C-alpha cells in the first residue's frame, strides 16, 4: 500500500511540475480566466486540483489548421491572386489591341505598317541595261 501512495505522490509532483511549466511557457493570448502568475499560484497551492483546473479552464487550445488536401479554389487569397492575374492579362490584351489599331491607322506613326519611304541607295555598279558594258569588259576605244 505504501508503494501505491509513493507512486501517486510522484505522479502528482510530475503533473504539477508539468502544469506549471506549461502555464509559464503558454503565450498570454492563449490563457483565459485569470492571469498567468495567478494560475501558477493556483497550481502550486491546490496541487492536483489547480493543475486540473489549468488544463480544463485556463488553457485555450491551439486553433485547428485548415484541413489538409483542401482545394486551392477554397482559399480566398488564392482566388484574389487569380482575379488580379486575370485582370492584368485583360489590360495587357486591351493595350496590345489599342497599339495594333494605332499602328493600322492611316497617318499613324507606328513602325509596324511598313511606312518607311526611304529610297533604296543607288548602286555603285552599273546595271547591264542596253548600251552599257558589264564591269571588266574591254573598252572599245
Q: What are phi and psi of 59, to 5 degrees?
A: -90, 140
Q: Are 80 and 53 part of one and the same domain?
A: no
Q: Are 21 and 45 part of one and the same domain?
A: yes
What was the pLDDT predicted at 42?
92
pLDDT in tens, 1-60: 899 999 999 999 999 999 999 999 998 888 888 989 999 999 999 989 999 999 998 888
In a domain, 141, yes or no: no
Domain enclosing residue 20, as ranges:
2-58
SS3 (DSSP) at 19:
helix
Mean pLDDT of 78-82: 84
Q: Are 53 and 7 part of one and the same domain?
A: yes
User: Structural domain tally of the chain?
Assistant: 2
pTM of the model: 0.44
In a domain, 109, yes or no: no
Q: What is the DSSP string of 59-121?
A: BPPPPPPPPTT--GGG-HHHHHHHHHHHHHHHHHHHHHHHHHHHHHSTT---STT----PPPP
57, 74 contact by CB (below 8 A): no
Q: Are 47 and 94 part of one and the same domain?
A: no
In a domain, 122, yes or no: no
Amino acid at each position: 500500500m505504501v508503494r501505491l501512495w509513493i507512486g501517486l505522490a510522484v505522479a502528482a509532483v510530475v503533473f504539477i511540475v508539468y502544469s506549471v511549466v506549461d502555464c509559464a511557457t503558454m503565450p498570454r493570448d492563449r490563457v483565459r480566466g485569470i492571469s498567468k502568475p495567478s494560475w501558477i499560484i493556483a497550481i502550486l497551492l491546490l496541487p492536483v486540483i489547480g493543475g486540473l483546473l489549468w488544463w480544463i479552464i485556463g488553457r485555450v487550445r491551439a486553433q485547428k489548421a485548415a484541413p489538409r488536401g483542401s482545394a486551392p479554389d477554397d482559399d480566398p487569397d488564392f482566388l484574389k491572386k487569380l482575379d488580379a492575374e486575370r485582370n492584368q492579362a485583360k489590360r495587357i490584351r486591351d493595350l496590345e489591341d489599342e497599339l495594333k489599331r494605332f499602328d493600322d491607322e492611316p497617318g499613324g506613326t507606328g513602325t509596324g505598317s511598313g511606312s518607311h519611304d526611304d529610297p533604296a541607295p543607288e548602286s555603285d555598279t552599273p546595271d547591264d541595261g542596253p548600251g552599257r558594258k558589264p564591269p571588266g569588259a574591254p573598252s572599245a576605244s
